[in-house]
Structures are given as C-alpha cells and as structure tokens.
Amino acid sequence: MTDVVPPNAMERLRDQVAQHPYPLVFATVSGAHLYGFASPDSDYDLRGCHVLSVKEVVGLDPGRETIELSINDGEFELDLVTHDAYKFFRLLLRKNGYVLEQVHSPLVVHTTPEHDELKAIVRDCVTRHHSHHYLGFAQTQWKLFDKERPRRVKPLLYVYRVLLTGIHLMQTGEVEANLVRLNDKARLPHVADLIARKQAGPEQSTLGDVDTLFHQREYDRLRTELEAAHQLSRLPESPSARPALSDLLIRLRLGE
C-alpha cells in the first residue's frame, strides 16, 4: 500500500516534530516511503520547513538555518532535515525538485494553514527547467548503480522514479513522486518487478540476475523521452512565485 505510514511510525514521527526547536510550517515524509518502494527496514526521511524568529534573523546570534537529526535505536530509524523558510523558499525558486516533492508529499506528519497556502503558491515555481534536476539525479543514480558490485535495487529504482517524475512534470505540471502511480501510466513490467523486490527484501537488497544492458537501454530511452518532454513542455521558462513567497515569508516572520 502506498501513501500510508503505519500508526506506530507516525506516532514516533509526530513525537520528533513536537520536539523541534522551531515552529514548523510543515513536516512530511520523503524518500522511499514517498516513492512507493520502501523496504521493511527502510528509514523514515522526515523533511520540512521551520521559521526562525525575527531576533534570530536580524540579531548578532543567528538561528539555525538547517536542522538535521538522525536516530537509530535498532527498531526505528529516522533522518530529519528542515530548513528555515527563507532558505526553503529560495530553493523552491532554484528549480529544485526535492523541495517541490516535500511540499506536495501526501505523507503529512505536521501541517498548518500556511502549508496549504504554500502548496498553492508553488504551482508558480514549476518551470520546464526542472527537467534538468531530474536528468542530473538520474545520471548520478545510474552511475552509482553501474559501478557497484553487487548491483543494488535501490539506485536502479531511483533512476526510473526520477525520470518518470520528470516526464510527468513536464507533460502535466503536476508533482508526482510515487513510482507505483507513475508506472500505472508508464506500464513498465520490469519496474513493477523491481518495486516488488525492493518491498519484499532488505533496504540494501541486490540484483544477482540483473540484465544491465536492458536497463541501460531503458535509461537511455527515458532520458530521451524526458528531454523531448522538456522541449515540448508548455511550462514557463522561469518561476513567477517570488512575490507571493516573499509575502508569505514576511507574514511567517512576523507571526501574522
């Protein structure tokens, strides 16, 4: 099942959110759980946006622009990263697909009215040049997959996930990070098989019978499809959300 966090894990995630040192605009689950191919032992990637107080922005003692925390107690593994709204909003304006996916993640641990406002605003952050983010990430993951021995399922799934996400974004303007739903449209049986392997095995499961040449051809084919989708996309060349993000940032800082 996708888009579901088990109740016991959600409780642990909410406990961590409650201990966060700053007010949060939102906190959502990213990573393999968002992408639809978490293994039984996958960690939880918790991502979000926090708000520094005015005195921590204008005073001599600045607040923490980024909060990072890792927990592994043998039963529960968490990787938490949140950015202050100023940094997060700037990332949204830099064609960063990660932050788009975090804002839109349906695996919501903490939300606010400002989160709903932000989801509406980021529609105007999406541009045809987000394709470069997904092309670059796919290339990195393919190189990782191709050089490792034994080869692992995870980087290969990331290759397919980011390329299909990028194609979908270019064609529709909608952010979809879940590979199961993306593959409902793409109908690639080898992707469904890889997802099943990943979900059934450990996080670092390997592929002893992988047909590397086949996946190389698929990687090249999907890269070409994403590049073509970029050329045909009707998405804008640049974001138009800067004024709305600036206004929201000011109101968040002032607590309005």
Are 13 and 78 contacting, i.e. CB atoms less than 8 angstroms apart? yes
Indicate the domain borders of the chain: 7-125+239-254, 130-232
Q: Please report where in the chains the tokens 């946006």 appear, as a residue.
A: 49
Structure tokens at 102: 């975090």
Between vectors from CA 6 to CA 162 and to CA 117, what angle results, nearest 5°? 60
Sheet with 77-84: strands ordered across: 66-72, 77-84, 44-50, 24-30, 108-110
C-alpha to C-alpha distances, 113 to 37, 108, 117, 122, 223, nearest whole angstrom: 30, 13, 6, 15, 38
CA–CA distance, 31 with 115 (Å, rounded to integer): 20
Q: What is the CATH number of domain 7-125+239-254?
A: 3.30.460.10
Residue 73's SS3 state is coil
Distances (CA, A) of 57 to 40, 52, 84, 227: 41, 7, 10, 41
Contact between 189 and 215 (Cβ < 8 Å): no
pLDDT tens digits along 110-148: 999 999 999 999 999 999 999 999 999 999 999 999 999
- What is the structure's pLDDT at 208? 86
**Is the CB of residue 170 less than 8 Å from the CB of residue 226?**
yes
Residue 2 pLDDT = 58
Alpha helices by DSSP H, the chain: 7-18, 31-35, 54-58, 85-92, 97-104, 113-121, 130-147, 153-172, 179-186, 189-200, 212-232, 242-254
Closest by Cα among 199, 134, 207 to 166: 134
Between strands 66-72 and 108-110, the pairing is unpaired
Confidence (pLDDT) at 26: 98
- Predicted TM-score (pTM) of this structure: 0.95
Per residue of the chain (256 residues), give pLDDT as tens. 457 899 999 999 999 999 999 999 999 999 999 999 999 999 999 999 999 999 999 999 999 999 999 999 988 999 999 999 999 999 999 999 999 999 999 999 999 999 999 999 999 999 999 999 999 999 999 999 999 999 999 999 999 999 999 999 999 999 999 999 999 999 999 999 999 999 999 888 899 888 999 999 999 999 999 999 999 999 999 999 999 999 999 999 999 7
Contacts of 220 (CB under 8 A, 6+ apart): none
